[in-house]
Amino acid sequence: DVQMTQSPSYLAASPGESVSISCKASNSINSYLAWYQEKPGKTNKLLIYSGSTLQSGIPSRFSGSGSGTDFTLTIRSLEPEDFAVYYCQQHNEYPFTFGSGTKLEIK
Amino acid sequence: EVQLQQSGPELRRPGSSVKLSCKASGYSITDYLMHWVKHRPEHGLEWIGWIDPEDGETKYAQKFQSKATLTADTSSNTAYMQLSSLTSEDTATYFCARNGGYPYYVMDAWGQGASVTVSS
């Protein structure tokens, strides 16, 4: 199975700042990586898939990059609603696997 | 609006089984695959498998092959997952999630999760 290593597991930032979250795959997943947002009381939200394709309705301050084994989710100019837990997921091969999550908190 | 409404929390004895439901609204379940995902805080998210409600085709992660059974009832627009021979390792929150980006296997709508507790 492809192991997904996400870092950091915890991140504190202030509104208006930009942050990046890393996701590394144990072997190449081409560009098939998705990012999700988890917030209390809400259902999980797909942000990005295929490495850099923004899901419909997701603000452009979210962006994804990378290919092969190294990927990054960047959030520019953090808004209060962006403080949440973020997961990556490889969708290149079975079984699909997830990173362990990054909790983004307000500093 | 696409919504996936999952069944409520379940408490089961070890060795028993449980069947979780996921009722879709806002779209026809025959138009999209449905994934199921397991979440335990100390183990993160694990993909269980998907079902194509149109023809009943399923694909499972190997570790869940003998644990989970995915089905769907198109007349009620509902997907189901049965978990058998429950152990404490099955205590978790289970999510259904629509596969949204064919041909990509990503989950563009999620249920709210269903908690399963296995305890004697």
Tens digit of each residue's pLDDT (9 = 90 or more) over A55-93: 999 999 999 999 999 999 999 999 999 999 999 999 999
Q: Which residue's entry shows tokens 């070890």?
A: B14
Per-residue pLDDT at B102 = 73
Say how far apart CA A88 and CA A97 lie, in whole Å.
8
Q: Determine whether the interchain pair A96/B62 forms a contact, defined as Cβ–Cβ distance below 8 Å.
A: no
Residues of B in Cβ contact (< 8 Å) with A36: 107
Is the pLDDT at B20 greater than 90, yes or no? yes
Give percent of chain A above pLDDT 70.
Answer: 100
Interface of A with B in 74-103 (CB under 8 A): 87, 89, 91, 94-101
For the residues B108-119, what does the mean pLDDT come to? Answer: 98
Q: What is the pLDDT of residues A14-40, one digit of tens each?
A: 999 999 999 999 999 999 999 999 999
B56-87, pLDDT tens digit by residue?
999 999 999 999 999 999 999 999 999 999 99
Predicted local confidence at residue A23, as pLDDT? 98
Q: Considering Cα of B95, then A26, then A22, then B108, what sign does the dihedral take?
A: negative
In DSSP notation, A31-84 reads T-EEEEEE-TTS--EEEEETTTEEPTT--TTEEEEEETTEEEEEE-S--GGG-S
* Residue B10 confidence (pLDDT): 98
Q: How many residues does chain B have?
A: 120
**Interface contact A44-B97, CB threshold 8 A:** yes
Q: Cα(first)–Cα(last) distance of chain A, in Å? A: 36
Helix (H, G, I), strand (E, B) or coil at B24: strand
Tell me, what's the pLDDT at B103?
A: 82
A7 to chain B, any CB pair closer than 8 A? The answer is no
Residue A43 has pLDDT above 90, yes or no: yes
Minimal Cα–Cα distance from A15 to chain B, Å? 26
Q: Looking at residue B88, what is its pLDDT? A: 97
Give the separation between CA B5 and CA B95, rounded to whole angstroms.
10
Neighbours of B18 (CB within 10 A): 19
Among partner residues B44, B63, B108, which is closest to A100 by beta-carbon distance?
Answer: B44
pLDDT 10s digits, B84-108:
999 999 999 999 999 987 788 999 9
Under an 8 A CB cutoff, do B100 and A34 touch?
Answer: no
The Cα A12–Cα A103 span in angstroms is 8
